[in-house]
């Protein structure tokens, strides 16, 4: 059995951010037990879960929305189980570190062949906490989406995808308007970071197929502030500045 750490860099309490990292990772790991813990509700009544997915790799973690986007990438939830069986965790679990006392032992038992049904009662998939990701809504000539993730380069991953650019009739080299945190900015559509001058504000299709707001050889997060995951961002065709 091999253990791989995908990330320990999700910000504290960043359930939404963690759910993006997880969803974007699971596709690269066939036949894997995925353990994810971003768990501000640890010790409360939120349920500890084992999710069996249609494509087979199970997910282990808290019922706070963290796991569902990843389950969607794996074909959806086939069955969901609440972890209640104390014999499959550490004795006397703490009320503050279920990652160590409940979730990691459960993931290890799953990897060792224990059947999901042994962890506890089955749970209705419809009752699981949802934290919808990636909403994009059209509003006239613009699209309203959200910031999904800020990476360590300061790139802001958004819920927009290439589709929105097509609908706006925009392509590489075109300018685009962004509204974010009360500011209105103009960025240039580029095929990768190094097109355009250093310091240029850019919109780029990132390696997950999402549009990202970037600064060539710089940090968009530093330029724009670090918006919380879930912040609204609007994408529109850039209009000529009437005062410019």
24 forms part of the interface with a second copy (CB under 8 A):
no
What is the DSSP secondary structure assignment for residue 163, as one 8-state letter?
H
192 forms part of the interface with a second copy (CB under 8 A):
yes
Strand 183-190 to 77-82 pairing: unpaired
Contact pattern for a second copy over residues 81 through 100, marking x by CB under 8 A: -------------xxxx--x
CB of 188 to a second copy, least distance (A): 15
Contact pattern for a second copy over residues 204 through 223, marking x by CB under 8 A: xxxx----x----x-x----
CA 156 – CA 135 distance, rounded (Å): 16
111 forms part of the interface with a second copy (CB under 8 A):
no
19 with 7: CB under 8 angstroms?
no
194 forms part of the interface with a second copy (CB under 8 A):
yes
Neighbour tally for 178: CB within 10 Å: 24
163 forms part of the interface with a second copy (CB under 8 A):
no
Q: CA triplet 82, 83, 88: central angle to 5 degrees?
A: 155
231 forms part of the interface with a second copy (CB under 8 A):
no
Instruction: Give whichever of 58 and 89 is closer to a second copy, judged by the CB atom.
Output: 89
* Among 21, 22, 48, 19, CA closest to 33: 22
Identified binder of a second copy from the candidate list 44, 117, 138, 186, rule CB under 8 A: 44
b/e sequence 210-231, b meaning 16+ C-beta within 10 Å: bbbbbbbebbbbeebebbebbb
40 forms part of the interface with a second copy (CB under 8 A):
yes
CA 162 – CA 204 distance, rounded (Å): 9
Instruction: Give whichever of 94 and 130 is closer to a second copy, judged by the CB atom.
Output: 94
CB of 44 to a second copy, least distance (A): 4
CB of 148 to a second copy, least distance (A): 15
78: three-class secondary structure by DSSP: strand
> What Å distances lie between residue 108 and 23, 59, 112, CA to CA?
21, 12, 6
Instruction: Give whichever of 86 and 217 is closer to a second copy, judged by the CB atom.
Output: 217
CB of 37 to a second copy, least distance (A): 12
**Site size toward a second copy, by CB under 8 A:** 28
Q: Which residues bind a second copy (CB under 8 A)?
A: 12-13, 40-44, 94-97, 100-101, 152-154, 191-195, 204-207, 212, 217, 219
């Amino acid at each position: 059995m091999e253990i791989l750490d995908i990330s320990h860099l999700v910000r504290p309490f960043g359930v939404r951010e963690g759910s993006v990292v997880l969803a974007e990772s699971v596709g690269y790991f066939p036949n894997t037990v995925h353990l994810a813990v971003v768990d501000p509700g640890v010790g409360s009544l939120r349920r500890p879960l084992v999710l069996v997915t249609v494509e087979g790799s199970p997910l282990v973690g808290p019922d706070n929305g963290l796991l569902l986007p990843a389950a969607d990438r794996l074909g959806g939830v086939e069955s969901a189980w609440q972890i209640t069986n104390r014999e499959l965790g550490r004795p006397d679990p703490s009320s503050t570190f279920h990652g160590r006392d409940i979730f990691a032992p459960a993931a290890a038992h799953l990897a060792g062949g224990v059947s999901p049904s042994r962890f506890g009662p089955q749970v209705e998939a419809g009752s699981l906490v949802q934290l919808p990701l990636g909403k994009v809504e059209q509003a006239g000539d613009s699209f309203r989406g959200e910031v999904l993730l800020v990476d360590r380069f300061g790139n802001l991953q958004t819920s927009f995808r290439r589709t929105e650019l097509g609908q706006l009739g925009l392509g590489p080299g075109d300018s685009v308007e962004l509204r974010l945190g009360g500011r209105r900015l103009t960025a240039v559509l580029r095929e990768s970071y190094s097109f355009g001058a250093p310091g240029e504000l850019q919109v780029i299709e990132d390696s997950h197929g999402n549009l990202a707001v970037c600064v060539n050889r710089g940090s968009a997060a530093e330029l724009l502030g670090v918006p919380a995951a879930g912040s609204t961002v609007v994408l529109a065709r850039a209009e000529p500045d009437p005062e410019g």
